A and B are shown apart, each in its own frame.
Chain A
């Protein structure tokens, strides 16, 4: 057990470097094209959900904001992109950006409120805002289609060449590329000084003002960025499935993504992705059974994770790795 006497620069350099596991992970994301070509639609759904989970990780895992209403931004992105396509503008990339923009604006407005609260008040306010938006979407059925969902969403081909096909080939490619690009941005944020301050807020919100940090400004910023990312995910869903329903904005979606993130491990950047994969695959496999069966196991899983694996799968793995290597000096994440 020796102290790595690396210089501080080398240490930080190493923190930010791409590990072979990461490269392998993204390479493996290409496998469905060859191994499971019949499941590309599911694969694109997983990629979209993974992106949504990543957006939640930024506020929950890194900044410590517990939100029970994050589906609000997912839904906003979905409905915006869906409405754009329904009313004649079916270009995917710009539709995506439009969804991101709307989600971002609402996210910024919400961040003004959210950054002021903690603990139960914060949980309740995020829950309340999510529920409010869902009710609004339900009531404004002239715009959103209400409980029946948005009909008539017709997408143009991506870059005017790649038409969305029934097998999900284009959908998965599109979703995966968007996921990867947004992931790169998230990764940059985490390794930036801003990311460090976010972790400081999560670790000890009291200490932050004492080192001169304006936590609220930081929280507003990350909340807005997270809302944009969630909006992109929602827009992707609308575009790849050519429908939008209230399910994209309801409490169950907010709760599901929270479960996925906790399962995978919050604050490890890949936790949401891993959790999304496991959750969605499991749900696909067990969807034949009655919903009660599903809820029973999810509930049990949650209890087990909290009691035995408080940092999720990735957290547990990270602990194992650091114990095996006998290295206590790494301090990763």
Chain B
């Protein structure tokens, strides 16, 4: 009786961790520069396709592709930031939305052209397949792996933010950009680095997502909606907020689909609208 509940909670939590990896970068960069990057999940999709290419074309083992999914995405995002994004930091929300949606459209078209529209078949290594039974409840090995990776990254991020000088600069920039500049902090540099890091994490998330939700060109938009929900519910610029919101959304989605399948995604949209009405700046947001 408890079994299914724990199973659902765990699956929901694992899904939430995936959403966290996909969302944390967007939340921090939105909080720092107020730049609405709707191409964020297109970057995630890129990471996924990097893994697919390395594994299926070049025969790399899965784990080895992950750092590359991160790096390639981070590098590509830097290129976009230099060439396009930095011209729009002072532009209106609408312009940023439109530009980045346009980029997402282009990336979807390119992905469909190069890889086709079907889901990419990818074989996980044997040690990540199957499940482990603890106290009579089955836990998927891959999901355990995903949770472990996400928690490790969360700890690293929090530690970096709290204990390094760079982290302090990021926190200052998120808190009050003008003041931070006035204190001599290189906000633009900090932002570029954070943006690359966040996009890289999204790429990693995209790679990890293949086994959970599959990868096809529509990923860029389907998961964008979830990511936006997590970011707006969690609050801009907050790692804790993204974590909490991702967990909430992940569990709500899985539980909703399990217990009341007729409602489908209805539940999360409702949760989001209600939460935003109660707290427009998100659970942990400022302003």
Contact = CB atoms under 8 A, between A and B. Distances in A.
B137 interface: no
5 contacts: A124-B229, A125-B273, A131-B225, A138-B264, A302-B101
Given A66-B94, A120-B232, A124-B276, A299 B265 contact: no
Chain B binding surface SS class: helix
Contacts of B93: 66, 119-120, 123
Interface residues of A, number: 40
Given A127-B228, A128-B273, A300-B106, A310 B265 contact: no
A292 B263 contact: no
Contact of B276 (A121, A131, A299, A306): A121
A192 interface: no
Contacts of B101: 255, 299, 302
A319 to B, nearest CB: 16
Given A295-B109, A296-B110, A299-B104, A305 B98 contact: yes
B60 interface: no
A121 B36 CA distance: 12
A327 to B, nearest CB: 27
Contacts of B264: 135, 138-139
A302 B272 contact: no
A127 B102 contact: no
Interface of B: 30, 36, 84, 87-88, 91, 93-95, 97-99, 101-110, 112-113, 117, 217, 225, 228-229, 231-232, 236, 262-266, 269-270, 272-273, 276-277, 280-281
A129 B263 CA distance: 15
A128 B113 CA distance: 30
Contacts of A247: none
A194 interface: no
Contacts, number: 116
Given A113-B277, A302-B101, A302-B102, A124 B236 contact: no
Given A123-B97, A128-B269, A295-B108, A139 B102 contact: no
Nearest to A66: B94
Contact of A303 (B106, B109, B236, B276): B106
A11 interface: no
A252 to B, nearest CB: 10
A299 B269 contact: no
Given A132-B269, A132-B270, A301-B102, 7 more contacts: A66-B94, A259-B98, A292-B112, A292-B117, A295-B105, A306-B88, A307-B84
Given A125-B277, A128-B272, A136-B266, A303 B113 contact: no
A201 to B, nearest CB: 14
Contacts of B117: 292
A128 B276 CA distance: 10
Contacts of A262: 94, 98
A329 interface: no
Nearest to B99: A306
A107 B179 CA distance: 41
Contacts of A135: 263-266, 269
